[in-house]
């Protein structure tokens, strides 16, 4: 029992001195995650298709769109779009009337084939 505290202190000291090697870590790479996607608008058409629009960002490589059936529910990835100039998505895989959908978006950049995701937006729905 008297050896546990010294062992913990030694492990703590060793772990604090380890080098960071994650290439997506902004402290190592100097690369920051993309900004939040702005001006996200959600609307519904007469044929029950949900249209999502946003301001495209030339400084990113693509976008993620997530969908949930409640504001604070589990959000499922429904779109991984590797195109930074797109600014519209039509969600036709919905069951309206009777259901309500919420959406979140984020942008990402590619670094050595890996996607670095930016901040996710606040949930949006149609009004």
The CATH fold of domain 25-117: Immunoglobulin-like (2.60.40)
d(CA 36, CA 98): 31
- Map out the domains of the chain as residue ranges: 25-117
DSSP line for 56-123: --TT-SEEEEEEESSTTSPPEEEEEE--TT--EEEE-S--TTT---EEEEEEEEEETTEEEE-PPPPP
Cβ atoms within 10 Å of 54's Cβ, excluding its own? 21
Residues 35-62 pLDDT 10s: 999 999 999 988 888 999 999 999 999 9
Residues 60-115 pLDDT 10s: 999 999 999 999 999 999 999 998 888 999 998 887 777 889 999 999 999 888 89
Residues 1-41 pLDDT 10s: 677 877 777 767 766 665 655 555 656 666 788 999 999 99
């Amino acid at each position: 029992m008297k050896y546990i505290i010294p062992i913990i202190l030694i492990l703590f000291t060793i772990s604090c001195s380890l080098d960071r090697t994650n290439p997506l870590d902004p402290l190592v790479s100097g690369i920051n995650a993309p900004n939040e996607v702005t001006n996200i608008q959600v609307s519904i058409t007469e044929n029950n298709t949900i249209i999502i629009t946003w301001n495209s960002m030339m400084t990113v490589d693509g976008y993620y769109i997530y969908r949930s059936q409640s504001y604070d529910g589990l959000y499922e990835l429904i779109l991984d779009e590797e195109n930074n100039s797109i600014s519209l998505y039509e969600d036709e895989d919905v069951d309206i009337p009777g259901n309500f959908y919420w959406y979140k978006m984020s942008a990402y950049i590619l670094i050595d084939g890996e996607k670095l995701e930016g901040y996710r937006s606040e949930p949006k729905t149609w009004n």
